[in-house]
Amino acid sequence: MSRATLRDVVERRRVNAAIGWVIVAVLLVAAVGAVFAGDPVWGVFVFAVAILAVVPPVATRHPTAMLPWEVLGLAALPAVGRTVVVGEQIAGITLSGRVATFLAVAAVALVVTVELDAFTPVRMTESFAVVFVGLTTTAAVGVWALARYLVDTLFGTGLLLDGRSVEAVETALMWDFVAATLVGLLAGVVFDLYFRRRYPPEKRLPPEVTR
């Protein structure tokens, strides 16, 4: 008797695939734009999102085997949005894109969760997937902070070490971890609700389980 998995999220519909490939193209353009805008770390991150998006068609060797476009769009929107938002000003306030960063990382955690369940021996229940997304988001923000620190140290940029005191940087990082964890858990809950609504048990479990 098989257990409920996220495998059924992977769709083989031409329209869904077409939208998915457009999103991948947009991500690649945004990655190049971030690099030329002087934010290579973010450019690499966006490029990694594009790579994750094409895992299903590569793994199945079928170009229409894309994740639902809603999931890819959720990952792409903040990833592209941060590239546009950073440095812009509204009413004299400079936008940093931190919220967009957390949303992008949480969305990528959703994609990773689906692909782990669909293309590896790992199997997750929906409730565990929510927790996994939250923890993955927090861990990814830690890696993001480390990457910014290394770039600042090696190339003299100001991504993290921007002239603030050590205490201010550490306090900001701690709040980043808190915000990222909350955003990750919220993203996991939203995805869980969407997943349950669109893929009810009768679509994910054998007939003998849903009777």
Please spell the DSSP secondary structure of 12-65, one letter per residue: E-HHHHHHHHHHHHHHHHHHHHHHHTT-HHHHHHHHHHHHHHTHHHHHHT-TTE
The answer, yes or no, to whether residue 99 has pLDDT greater than 80, is: no
For range 131-145, the mean pLDDT: 83
Residue 202 lies in a domain: yes
Neighbours of 58 (CB within 10 A): 12
Mean pLDDT comparison of 45-54, 80-89, 173-182, 190-199, highest-scoring range:
45-54
For range 92-100, the mean pLDDT: 53
- Helices 69-85 and 14-36 pack at an angle, to 10 degrees, of 20
Q: Which residues pair with 94 in a beta bridge?
A: 89
CB-CB contact of 47 with 41 (8 Å) = no
Q: Mean pLDDT over all residues of the chain?
A: 75
What type of residue sits at position 88? E
Residue 15 lies in a domain: yes
What's the CA gap between 185 and 165, in Å, rounded?
A: 31
For range 202-206, the mean pLDDT: 44
The dihedral built from the CA positions of residue 29, 35, 39 and 43, taken in this order, carries a sign that is positive
- pLDDT higher for 24 or 205? 24
Residue 2 lies in a domain: no
Range of the domain at 103: 7-210
The number of domains in the chain is 1
For range 106-114, the mean pLDDT: 80
- Tokens coding 14: 């031409």
With bands split at pLDDT 50, 70 and 90, how would you rate the model's confidence at 111? confident
- pLDDT higher for 7 or 187? 187
* Of 32-36, 37-41, 174-178, minimum mean pLDDT range: 37-41
Residue 1 lies in a domain: no
Residue 162 lies in a domain: yes
The answer, yes or no, to whether residue 203 has pLDDT greater than 60, is: no
- How many C-alpha atoms does 61 have within 13 Å on its Cβ side? 0
What's the CA gap between 85 and 105, in Å, rounded?
A: 16
What are the pLDDT digits (tens) for 143-184? 878 888 888 888 887 877 877 888 888 888 888 888 888 888
Residue 159 lies in a domain: yes
The dihedral built from the CA positions of residue 106, 76, 142 and 48, taken in this order, carries a sign that is positive
What are the pLDDT digits (tens) for 69-89? 877 887 887 777 666 655 544
